[in-house]
Amino acid sequence: MFLDASVIIGIIAREPDAASLAARLGRATNAYTSSIALYEAVLGLARIGNMPPAQALPIVEQFLGEVNATIIAIDAALGREAIAASGRFGRGRHPAGLNMGDCFAYACARQLDVSLLCKGDDFPQTDAVLA
């Protein structure tokens, strides 16, 4: 299962759907995320918690450690997959309106052949396999 930044933030920040997200994550055999999702989660948590990113980083890293998430590397093949995702589902091209981070989450889940754990109504408008 690939963890989108929105899920990482949602669980850590105890958003209303945190228990549901954590339960779905708990059913995963393997959890993955990327350095881009890490970046997005840290900045999002810093914004929500009104703290500097340097203070949010260890919180996110601790969470990822607790769920045994593997942070995968972003390579050229993933970059090309994200570009293809943008061409199919990106802002201004498709109702899903995926942003850069979303396109990389989509690409990572596809490359790993795992489901995508996410929030919002953007990914359900794609062909991503959702957790």
Specify the 3-state DSSP secondary structure of 72: strand
- Does 126 reside within a domain? no
- Does 130 reside within a domain? no
Kindly report the pTM of this predicted structure: 0.92
The upper half-sphere exposure of residue 6, i.e. CA atoms within 13 Å in the direction of its Cβ, equals: 16
- Does 56 reside within a domain? yes
- Does 125 reside within a domain? no
Query: Is the pLDDT higher at 97 or at 1?
Result: 1
How big, in percent rounded to 5, are the helix, strand and coil portions of the chain?
A: 55, 10, 30
- Does 129 reside within a domain? no
Question: Is pLDDT above 90 for 61?
Answer: yes
The confidence score (pLDDT) of residue 92 equals 82
- Does 127 reside within a domain? no
User: How many domains would you assign to the chain?
Assistant: 1
Question: Is pLDDT above 90 for 17?
Answer: yes
Specify the 3-state DSSP secondary structure of 51: coil
Q: The domain spanning residue 60 has which CATH number?
A: 3.40.50.1010
- Strands (DSSP E) found in the chain: 2-3, 31-34, 69-72, 116-117
Nearest to 64 by CA among 103, 23, 8: 8
Structural domain containing residue 48:
2-119
Q: What is the pLDDT of residues 63-100, one digit of tens each?
A: 999 999 999 999 999 999 999 999 999 988 888 889 99
